[in-house]
Each structure stands twice: as structure tokens, then as C-alpha cells.
Amino acid sequence: MIQFKGFPARMQFTPVPNIVFSSLFPQITDIVELKVLFYIFELLYAKKGSLKFFTINELLALAGQTGGSELSHEKITGALQSLKKKEAIIHFPVTRNGEAEEIYFLNNQTNKLNLERIRKGEISLPELKPEKSVPAVLPEPSDIFSLYEQNIGMLTPLIADELKEAGKQYPESWIKDAIKEAVESNKRNWKYIAWILAHWSTEGKDNGAYRGNLKKNTDPDKYIRGKYGHMVQR
């Protein structure tokens, strides 16, 4: 075991979502499960690209490199089973060179959408093939998601995250109305929908001036500079 001698002046950091501390930690009583959870975040943070997953062998290798060699395959498997029951991770059965294997993802909306696309063959995994009997891993149902797909276009993981974020900032009725406005204006894209929502949030939705203002040369930078500018610049 590596002896800890305090924190150095220069360190690397691994981000951990705040919800882990508020909702997941209180449910964890086993030290092995806690260690495995931290190893998972370290593994995933080091990976590049939008499709991030890990395997048991990667956890074993990382544990061995960082002084956690006491974590056997059996202990790690048990910890993963427990984290699955807590809905912290999702497992996905695949084959590698004809051999069965399990890969794991964090349980979030983006990964659920990606897993559905993998299952349908829309996304391929290098050297890995999904099991034929893989069950559907459906994202949470939402009328907004369906409305977007039916009227605007394919619901990508990025757009799904944007819609969820918008749902935290605006009433659902606003988002639905903004999608309808985009369709009527023949501007079927998320950037325009976000612009409408930002406009309503600053100018008022029902003041009767909205439609007229859209036809004028409104300064778009006004909304980019505003509170909701991070959504307009998508």
C-alpha cells in the first residue's frame, strides 16, 4: 500500500457530481463499494469522447496501480452489483472476439440514449458487439422529447440534456409553445427554440409584442450577453 504523506502543492483533480454526496453516499456502507465508486469516476474522467464506459478489468488495473490490490475480481463484481441496484450504473452485455463481457456506464439520460442507439446499431463500439438479447434501456419518457422529435428532428444526447436543462429554467408549457413557434416560423432547430425562451424570459411571453419583435432586427447579442446566453449559443 502506498503511504500517504499529505497533499502536494500541485495536484490533479477528478470531478465528482454533487448528487453523489447528497444522495448516493448516504446509501453506501461498504468501503469496497465506496472505493470502486471513486475508481469509476477516475476512469471515466480520463477517457476521451462522448461515449464513456468502463470494464471490470480496467477497475482491477487501476486498483493495482494505486495501491488497491486487495480489491479482487470478486469484490469488485460485488460492488458493481450493489451500485447497479442503487441505479448508479448501467451494465451492458457485449462480446469481444466471441467472448462474453460486461461494460458499464453511469446511469444518466445521455448514456441511456446512447445505449439505445448502440442496441439499434446506430452506434458501433470498436472490437465490441452487443449481445443479441440486450434489453432496451429506455430514457425517461417525456412529452417534450416526443414533441421535439416529431417536429424538429432527431433527439441526440446533447439535445436531450439541453431540453432537461431548459425544463429546470422554464415551465413545460413554454418549451412546448417555443417548439410550436419554431415550426410555424420554419426554423426547426434548438438554437432558435432557446432564443425564443430567452426572449420570453426577458421580454415577457404574453405581452403581445413577441411576434412583432421577431420580425424586427432585434440584436441577438442582447440575449447572448444575458442570463440565458449559454443556451442561445448552442
Domain boundary among 68, 96, 130: 130
Check whether 88 has a pLDDT greater than 90: yes
Check whether 20 has a pLDDT greater than 80: yes
What's the mean pLDDT in 154-161?
A: 79
Looking at the structure of the chain, the number of domains it has is 2
- Report the pLDDT value the prediction gives residue 37, as an integer from 0 to 100: 96
Instruction: State the CATH number of the domain containing residue 42.
Output: 1.10.10.10
Q: How confident is the model at residue 138 (pLDDT cuts 50, 70, 90)?
A: low
**What pTM was computed for the model?**
0.58
Question: 156 and 62 in one domain?
Answer: no
What's the mean pLDDT in 124-150?
A: 72
Question: 125 and 29 in one domain?
Answer: yes
For residues 164, 170, 176, 182, the Cα torsion angle rounded to the nearest 10 degrees is -100
Question: 39 and 118 in one domain?
Answer: yes
Instruction: State the CATH number of the domain containing residue 152.
Output: 1.10.10
Does some domain include residue 2? no
Does some domain include residue 48? yes
Does some domain include residue 61? yes
Question: 124 and 40 in one domain?
Answer: yes
Domain boundary among 130, 162, 193: 130
Question: 69 and 27 in one domain?
Answer: yes
Q: How confident is the model at residue 139 (pLDDT cuts 50, 70, 90)?
A: low
Do 53 and 64 meet the contact criterion of CB atoms below 8 Å apart?
A: no
Tell which residue, 106, 159, 108, 105, has the closest CA to residue 128.
105
**Enclosing domain of residue 213:** 143-232
What's the mean pLDDT in 151-160?
A: 81
Check whether 91 has a pLDDT greater than 60: yes
Q: What angle do CA 167, 171, 175 make, to 5 degrees?
A: 70
Does some domain include residue 190? yes
Question: 110 and 39 in one domain?
Answer: yes
